[in-house]
Amino acid sequence: MKKLIVLLIAVSIVMSVNAQKKQDNPFFKEYNTPFQVPPFDQIKYEHYLPAFEKGLKDAKAEIKKIADNKEAPNFKNTVEALEFSGELLEKVSSVFFNLTGSNSSPEMQEIAKEITPKLTSYQDEILLNDKLFKRIKAVYEKRTTSKLTPEQIRLVEIKYKEFTKNGALLNKEQKARISKVNQDLATLSLQFRDNVLAETNDYKLIVEDEGRLRGLPRTLIESAREAANKAGMGGKFVFTLHNPSIMPFLQYCEDRELRKEMLNAYLHRGDNNNEHDNKEIIKQILRLSLEKANLLGYPDFAEFTLSDNMAKNTGKVFELLNQLWEPASHNARMEAEEIQQMIFNEGQNFTLEASDWRYYAEKIRKAKYNLDEEELRPYFAVDNVMNGAFHVAENLYGIKFKELHDVPVYDPSVKVFEVTETDGKHIGLFFVDYFNRSSKRGGAWMNNLRSRQVKNGKVITPIVFNVCNFPAPVGDTPSLLNLDEAETLFHEFGHALHGLLANNSYPSIGGTSVPRDFVELPSQLMENWFSEPEVLREFARHYQTGEPLPEDFIDKIQASSKFGQGFATVEYLAAALLDMSYYSAPPVDDVDAFEQEIASRYNLPEAIPFRYRSTYFNHIFGGGYSAGYYSYIWAGVLDSDAFEAFKETSLFDQKTAESLRKNILEKGYTEDPMDLYVKFRGREPVIEPLLRKRGLQ
């Protein structure tokens, strides 16, 4: 009897401890924070897995309930129920996967490795569920006679296509195989990203002699000195492969050997035959991607991907890329000849190499336009540029931004803004995380922490993130951006507006949940306002004196706007062609050899490497842009044509801005993207504005 009592006490204690743990887990209760923002300060590593496990358990039970429902299938009990299922799972996933990109750690990476295959398997359990698909199909077949709204009909159509495109019509053996393929692809992509981050963080160029740093901006030298001090290497200078370090280094460092060393390390990330090498992972991803496409009835993965995009097929993508390749490569060759001549004029006899291009291009720009980007930096303090982006949005759409100081954040440098209509109506929250750190993956992006939706008649407002890798402040000096970085801020802010101004009921077809070659339209369109003189005069002010950017500087920015576009366009197009070539061809046996084959096929100049070499091409092997990197130039056609609608009227023409908001930003994927564009512009886009903008005519 005593043993039984002891056992019962022990069980009671365990149950009590488990209950306490559950009570302490922030994901298991409603967030008691402003605007129900996740309490980042309370979330610990040990909270994620229990929340994921319970979230998966609850979500699977919900899916079973929908599939087993004895009532006749209709929109509410099937499609809408599926759309809003898995609330806890979405709650923990949105936090976790936002932070694995912006504030990662070894602990987060280990959790991701454990949970990613389970999440992929769960998605397959939904999309390959016969009983659930039959109900979706029944609603789909009656969609036009069921008194549904246009948005509801669109959601039904998208859900039905999602199921059929992901294997709902396959037999049992094929479904089992595609589920395994999906899990393997998810795991490999995660490993690819982790390897790139590790390779980027592991390399450091340590310079002892400050004399070798001639030409470098003083701010970069001081950042390198501070990095060395933090690493316990006082008196030395540390440079890294993160963009705020390497890009100005390549642009200004006079020491050619140091430039070569830095660029070589950058280009060989993931290609060093070590524990972080990505070549075998790439081969496996390509092999599995082709198998998946074939199982689903597509000749290759590119055709599988593009069937949902505006482009529809590989032929249209290659047609656009090839149409731009010749004029871009012609301009690039002319730029190379000009650089080579400058090298000779300086009394040097070496042949132009990749590590020379940015350095000499910057010298030529300064000579041609008397424009030194380092002279511009003091006028582009990050807060000023951000306020410039806010100014554009306020003038276009009448919305307001107010900084909040009582909202939890995951890093002290993160800022939060409430976004409201002119009348004060709450739209959403906007988080900005702008500065580079080792826990953040490279690049810049926008993401939703919470998407706009209407659930049980209640509007749930969005929480949107912009994450960048700008140089961090040093001492009393704020983060000062170059032109490319400032334009990047405007670009990501355009994505943010797409998420914030969404006016949809269902998150899977709202905001930025649109095809890849349409999602870049709002972001790239926003870039156009950045360099307009009227806008520059508003926000570009010296961070110390408050003096506006001098008019002659504005004139120089305008005059030099097409400078270097041959290099920039070829560098981009080469990467887009590499992506399309990988996913529209048989799997490769040798990654480096395939790269060389594509470079030779298009006569890519040796001095212009791919913008992303394969082994660190996160977009296509570690993200969602497989056979989709072309999207930026496709959207470039759209944004160049769209901006002309403003140039034909005025920069802040209210009628045009209202049409843009109502027909593009608010609509998401509730209608066909081309139909939406035509509603905004009055016709389909034409390519000539893009050619003029880049000087490619």
Rounded to 10°, the helix 631-647/565-583 angle is: 140
Would you call 538 exposed, middle or buried from its count of C-beta atoms within 10 A (0-12, 13-18, 19+)?
middle
Beta bridge partners of 433: 467
Set 487, 492, 527, 571: catalytic member: 492
> 670 falls in which pLDDT band (50, 70, 90)?
very high
Domain ranges for the chain, please list them: 2-148, 203-267, 279-371+566-621, 378-559+631-694
Q: Which two tokens stand for residue 217?
A: 């901006």
Task: Give 330-374 pLDDT, tens digit per residue.
Answer: 999 999 999 999 999 999 999 999 999 999 999 999 999 998 888
CA–CA gap between residue 467 and residue 445 (Å, rounded):
5
Q: What per-residue confidence (pLDDT) applies to 22?
A: 64
Predicted local distance difference test score (pLDDT) of residue 311: 95
Other CB atoms within 10 A of residue 190 CB = 18
Of the candidates 471, 440, 472, which has an alpha carbon nearest to the alpha carbon of residue 197? 440
Q: In this model, does residue 16 exceed pLDDT 50?
A: no
What is the average per-residue pLDDT within 375-399?
97
Average pLDDT over residues 432-460: 94
C-alpha 235: how far from its chain's center? 37
Q: pLDDT confidence of 13, banded at 50, 70, 90?
A: very low
Q: What is the fold, at CATH topology level, of the domain defined by 2-148?
A: Neurolysin; domain 3 (1.10.1370)
How confident is the prediction for the chain on average, in pLDDT? 95
Section 245-254 average pLDDT: 96
Burial class (CB in 10 A: 0-12, 13-18, 19+), 77: middle
* pLDDT of 102 above 80: yes
pLDDT at position 17, please?
A: 43
CATH superfamily, domain 279-371+566-621, is Neurolysin, domain 3 (1.10.1370.10)
DSSP 198-220: HHHHH--EEE--GGGGTTS-HHH
Percentage of the chain exceeding pLDDT 70: 97
Phi and psi at residue 534, to the nearest 5°: -60, -35
- In this predicted model, what pLDDT tens digit does every residue of 208-240 receive, in sequence order? 999 999 999 998 999 999 999 999 999 999 999
Q: Angle at CA 489, nearest 5°, toward 485 and 491? A: 110
Closest CA to 572 of 507, 495, 636: 636
235: left (phi over 0), alpha (psi -120 to 50) or beta: left
Tens of pLDDT, residue by residue over 390-416, are 999 999 999 999 999 999 999 999 999
The enclosing H or E element of 491 equals helix 483-500
Res 1: pLDDT: 56
Could you tell me what percent of the chain has a pLDDT over 90? 94
The per-residue pLDDT for 14 is: 44
Over residues 521-558, the pLDDT tens digits come to 999 999 999 999 999 999 999 999 999 999 999 999 99
Dihedral angle over CA of 402, 405, 408, 412, nearest 10: 110
Categorize the per-residue pLDDT at 20 as very low, low, confident or very high, splitting at 50, 70 and 90.
Answer: low
CATH topology of domain 378-559+631-694: Neurolysin; domain 3 (1.10.1370)
Decide: 255 and 213 in contact? Cβ < 8 Å.
Answer: yes
The pLDDT of residue 347 is 96
Is 418 a residue of the active site? Answer: no
Is the Cβ–Cβ distance between 179 and 121 less than 8 Å? yes
Query: Which tokens sit at 531?
Result: 């360099």
Handedness of CA 384, 386, 390, 392 (dihedral sign): positive
pLDDT band at 5 (very low <50, low <70, confident <90, very high): low
Q: What is the mean pLDDT of residues 310-322?
A: 96
CB 384 within 8 A of CB 635: no
Averaged pLDDT, 116-136: 96
User: At residue 448, does pLDDT exceed 50?
Assistant: yes
Average pLDDT estimate for 13-26: 61
Q: Tell me, what's the pLDDT at 2?
A: 55
Dihedral over Cα of 335, 338, 343, 349: its sign: positive
Mean pLDDT of 175-195: 96
Count the neighbouring beta carbons within 10 Å of the beta carbon of residue 93.
17
Can 2-148 and 279-371+566-621 be said to share one CATH topology? yes
pTM of the predicted model, to two decimals? 0.90
Give the Cα separation of 528 and 385 in Å (integer).
14
pLDDT digits (tens, 9 = 90+) for 43-75: 999 999 999 999 999 999 999 999 999 999 999
pLDDT in tens, 561-613: 999 999 999 999 999 999 999 999 999 999 999 999 999 999 999 999 999 99
Q: Report pLDDT digits (tens) over 632-663.
A: 999 999 999 999 999 999 999 999 999 999 99
